[in-house]
Amino acid sequence: MSDSGRILSLMTFTQERSLIEIGEPLSATTFVVFDLETTGTSPHECGITEIGAVKVRGGEVLGEFQTLVNPGSAISPIVVRLTGITDAMVVNAPSIGEVLPSFLEFLGDSVLVAHNARFDVSFLRAACSKHGYAAPHNEVVDTLLLAQRTVTKEEAPNRKLSTLARIFGTTVTPDHRALSDARATSEIMFRMLERLAAFGVTHREDLASLKSTVPARIRSKARIADTVPTQPGVYIFRGPQGDPLYVGTSRDLRSRVKQYFTRAETRTRVKAMVELATTVDTIVCESALEAAVHEVRLIHQWQPQFNVRSKHRERTPWIRLSDEPHPRLVVNYGTTRRQGSLGPFRSTAEARIAIEALHEALGTRTCTTRLPLTPSPQARACVLKDMGACSAPCVAGNETGYDSAVSLTRAALDQNIARVVAPIASTVARYSQAEDYERAIESRDKLSIVVDAAHRADRLLSLQSCSIIAVRPDEDGWELASVAHGRLTGAARVKTGVWAAADALREARDEAVHTDPEDADAALIEEQEIVLSWLEKPGTRLLYVDGTWSSPATGAGQHLAWVEARRQDRTHRMLWNNE
């Protein structure tokens, strides 16, 4: 039976439906199966050496197209060995600019087919762009994708064209020449379409479903995005009861929302969310910074069940002293800063390592027992007392010594870590001199974690201590942000009029923001990190800086020194003198 006969026999079950209802049968669809030979893999740096194409419909060959092409550059020996095409063979061949008009006419409005179509189509489009022709917008079918859908791993170790030709027993053997490969690809395509017919892929309109595994019931929900704007901002998927399911951000809200319903989703949580979603709300924002901050605040406020962050809410680790007569260091969690805490740390494991470092340097107790205010006369100290690692407040008469250790620890938690650095650095040096490098590295890493946490706290305190109006260039003008006590209070994007926009943001901030110092402690850590990352990007300039500066004695002056240096840099004003 011919290829045409096989396909037609597999499609007979659709005959009761009218052609208007079912669309164009694959037996009536015109395909152009093509292949290109090239001098390399880059469509913008390499040239085409040969084009081969076969036009088929219903298994019948309607025409063929083949020509060598002069690529305008030498063909490397590796390519010659692979394809057999030499410089001598193409020296008198037409250029791609001369070939394109006739090849594009041959394509017409047919469905284009190629094996690893992205490669061939990219070269075709690059050539059209270079020579001033409109790139074809034909529907494209990739036989590599068809093979992934129809050929099992047991049948074939890979999806190479030569492997597929062997499996399907094609009459033409692919040999890295364009027309031969196109003929073989045509045969392989029809064999795979026969298999796909059993799964309902029988019409031209069904081909699109091969590119995505999104179920039809999910694709139909894409209408939700019809009224979504194409601007940057925040999107909120809601369930049947209007409850927020998921919060996200995008520079193009409509495009991003549509992707949830038109692209295959591999994340289990997001797939479950898309199944439940019935509507989507959006908040248009002036900039990506404002959108990111809104996203963090909404997730913190609503705790949507499908946001990963919601699973770990309030899990930012800090270390602090416990609330008891003889306090000990403990890990504390929260999304905002708590007075008398060191951090935030990147993980609980790092926080526990920092506690070990402070124990070693300052002598706070490691036992987890809650001790009485007045020790029992019968109490006895553990071995740590004999090792000098603890002043043993559990034993009568040692309370004063432990109070001194607690005072030093409180100072360290307020970022004065000099008393921690010196003894640990001494320990590192001692182990190094003794060539006990493993312990030296362990102590060094402990110190690094403490210093890094102090540095992170330093940056946050610096941001919390002042109010800032900053500007940075974007692709279409200038992006401005107003920050007070670690919180974003306003944003704007302008093409001109930077100083006027900054003054407007400053006035709005002064009216809306409370200047109570406790506001700084209420700022979400994640929001502050986002703002700091934006401020530290190259090209950012500070227009206004107000507030109380942290004392350099606390170790918090380094980041503010950066702020002050930028504040004093008035040369950037020249950029906007012509407004």
Q: What does the pLDDT look like over 248-282, one tens digit per residue? A: 999 889 888 888 886 666 778 888 898 899 999 99
Of all residues in the chain, what percent carry a pLDDT higher than 90?
33
Q: Which residues pair with 481 in a beta bridge?
A: 470, 491
pLDDT of residue 357: 82
Q: Which residues pair with 480 in a beta bridge?
A: 471, 492
Query: Catalytic residue among 115, 131, 176, 312, which?
Result: 176
Does the pLDDT of residue 389 top 80, yes or no? no
**Residue of 201, 203, 107 whose CA lies nearest to 145:** 201
pLDDT of residue 18: 37
pLDDT of residue 160: 93
Strands 111-114 and 30-38: parallel
Choice among 72-76, 116-120, 445-449, 518-522 with the minimum mean pLDDT? 518-522
Is there a cis peptide before residue 344, judged by omega within 30 degrees of 0?
yes
pLDDT: which is higher, 233 or 371 = 233
Choice among 134-138, 260-264, 288-292 with the minimum mean pLDDT? 260-264
For residue 60, give the 3-state DSSP assignment.
Answer: strand
- Cα Rg, the chain, nearest whole Å: 34
For residue 70, the 8-state DSSP code is B
Per-residue DSSP letters for 184-197? Answer: HHHHHHHHHHHHHH
pLDDT of residue 537: 87
pLDDT of residue 4: 39
Q: Is 176 a catalytic residue?
A: yes
CA atoms of 528 and 445, how far apart (whole Å):
26
User: Which residue blocks in 11-86 are alpha helix, DSSP H?
Assistant: 19-22, 77-83
In degrees, rounded to 5, the angle at the alpha carbon of residue 547 between the alpha carbons of residues 543 and 549 is 105
pLDDT: which is higher, 150 or 30 = 30
Most confident of 127-136, 308-317, 457-466, 556-565: 127-136
pLDDT of residue 154: 84
Q: Which residues pair with 376 in a beta bridge?
A: none
Count the Cβ atoms, other than its own, within 10 Å of residue 255.
12
pLDDT: which is higher, 311 or 123 = 123
Q: What is the pLDDT of residues 536-554, one digit of tens each?
A: 888 888 888 875 433 333 3
Q: Collect all residues with Cβ–Cβ distance below 8 Å to 35 and sequence separation of at least 6.
A: 51, 52, 53, 114, 115, 120, 178, 179, 181, 182, 185
**Assigned token pair, 425:** 């650095």
**Residue entry with tokens 């029992």:** 376
Strands 477-484 and 541-547: unpaired
CA atoms of 267 and 251, how far apart (whole Å):
22
Task: Note the pTM of the prediction, 2 decimals.
Answer: 0.55
pLDDT: which is higher, 66 or 9 = 66
For residue 229, the 8-state DSSP code is -
**Residue entry with tokens 């992006």:** 479
List domains and CATH numbers for the chain: 3-211 (3.30.420.10), 216-310 (3.40.1440.10), 317-453 (no CATH), 465-576 (no CATH)
User: How sure is the predictor about 568, in pLDDT bands with cuts at 50, 70 and 90?
Assistant: very low
User: How sure is the predictor about 2, in pLDDT bands with cuts at 50, 70 and 90?
Assistant: very low
Find out whether 334 and 315 touch, Cβ atoms under 8 Å: no
User: How sure is the predictor about 343, in pLDDT bands with cuts at 50, 70 and 90?
Assistant: confident
For residue 367, give the 3-state DSSP assignment.
Answer: coil
For residue 41, the 8-state DSSP code is S
CA atoms of 486 and 291, how far apart (whole Å):
16
Q: What is the pLDDT of residues 22-65, one digit of tens each?
A: 358 888 999 999 999 999 999 999 999 999 999 999 889 999 99
Average pLDDT over residues 140-160: 89
The overall longest dimension of the chain from CA atoms, in Å, is: 106
CA atoms of 401 and 410, how far apart (whole Å):
15
Q: What's the mean pLDDT when you consider all of the chain?
A: 80
Average pLDDT over residues 299-323: 78
568 CB-contact burial (10 Å; exposed 0-12 / middle 13-18 / buried 19+): exposed
Count the Cβ atoms, other than its own, within 10 Å of residue 72.
12
pLDDT of residue 359: 80
56 CB-contact burial (10 Å; exposed 0-12 / middle 13-18 / buried 19+): buried
Q: Collect all residues with Cβ–Cβ distance below 8 Å to 486 and sequence separation of at least 6.
A: 460, 463, 464, 520, 523, 527, 528, 531
Q: How many residues does the chain have?
A: 579
Average pLDDT over residues 381-405: 61
